[in-house]
Amino acid sequence: KNGMAWVIIGGLSSSMILTLVVVPIVYYLFDKMTVRFRHFRKNRVVEQIKEKLMDEDEVVS
Lowest mean pLDDT among 6-10, 26-30, 49-53: 49-53
pLDDT at residue 23 in the model: 92
**Mapping DSSP to helix (H, G, I), strand (E, B) and coil, where does residue 3 land?**
helix
Instruction: Please tell me the distance from the alpha carbon of residue 38 to that of residue 51, in angstroms, as a whole number.
Output: 20
Domain ranges of the chain: 25-61
> Residue 52 — very low, low, confident or very high, per pLDDT cuts 50/70/90?
confident
| pLDDT above 90 (res 39) | no
Q: What is the DSSP string of 6-57?
A: HHHHHHHHHHHHIIIIIHHHHHHHHHHHHHHHHHHHHHHHHHHHHHHHHHHH
Predicted local confidence at residue 10, as pLDDT: 96
CA diameter of the chain: 88
Determine the pLDDT at residue 59.
59
